[in-house]
């Protein structure tokens, strides 16, 4: 079970805790289900509007997770991902801090999502 804490400095009193119902849901779909106002536009990994910062709240640390090709391209375009970050993710299983909410599939870990 994944526990997700959504936080935004503009809504300090509105930290929302959510649980992923399956491991096929994106952060964006969970946010929409819980009425969390993560900005988004295309919903398909092409615009970069839905950039989020993901940190671990789990003692084990972040689990690695797959970056789609679209996500790599867009995160690089918006300055949130470097070639070094991609190499760390692909070679050493160290997940990048910034993700696209519409592409990031929740895994079985407790995370903080800043949007
Ligand atoms: Fe466009 Fe996620 S909403 S990249």
pLDDT recorded at residue 115:
93
Residue of minimum CA distance from atom 4 in ligand 1: 45
For residues 115 and 83, what is the distance between their CA atoms, to the nearest angstrom? 23
CATH number of 3-114: 3.10.20.30
Q: For the chain, give every domain's residue range.
A: 3-114
What ipTM was assigned to the predicted interfaces of this complex? 0.99
User: Block means of pLDDT (10 residues each) for the chain, length 115 residues?
Assistant: 86 73 84 92 96 89 79 96 92 92 89 93
β-sheet bridge partners, residue 57:
none
pLDDT recorded at residue 65:
72
What is the position in ligand 1's atom list of the atom closest to the CA of 101?
Answer: 2
For the chain, report the end-to-end CA distance as a whole number of angstroms: 22
- The closest of 23, 100, 30, 34 to 63, measured between CA atoms, is 23
Q: How far is the CA of 94 from the centre of ligand 1 (A)?
A: 23
Q: Where in 10-115 does DSSP place strands (E)?
A: 16-19, 51-56, 98-100, 111-114
pLDDT recorded at residue 61:
72
The H or E element that residue 4 is part of is strand 3-7
What is the position in ligand 1's atom list of the atom closest to the CA of 41?
Answer: 3
């Amino acid at each position: 079970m994944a526990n997700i804490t959504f936080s935004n400095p503009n809504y300090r009193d509105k930290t929302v805790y959510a649980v992923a119902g399956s491991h096929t849901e994106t952060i964006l779909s969970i946010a929409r289900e819980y009425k969390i106002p993560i900005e988004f536009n295309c919903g398909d990994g092409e615009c970069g509007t839905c950039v989020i910062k993901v940190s671990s709240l789990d003692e084990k640390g972040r689990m690695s997770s797959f970056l789609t090709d679209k996500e790599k391209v867009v995160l690089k375009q918006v300055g949130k991902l470097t070639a070094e970050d991609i190499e760390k993710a692909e070679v050493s299983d160290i997940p990048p801090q910034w993700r696209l909410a519409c592409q990031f599939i929740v895994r079985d870990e407790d995370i903080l999502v800043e949007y």
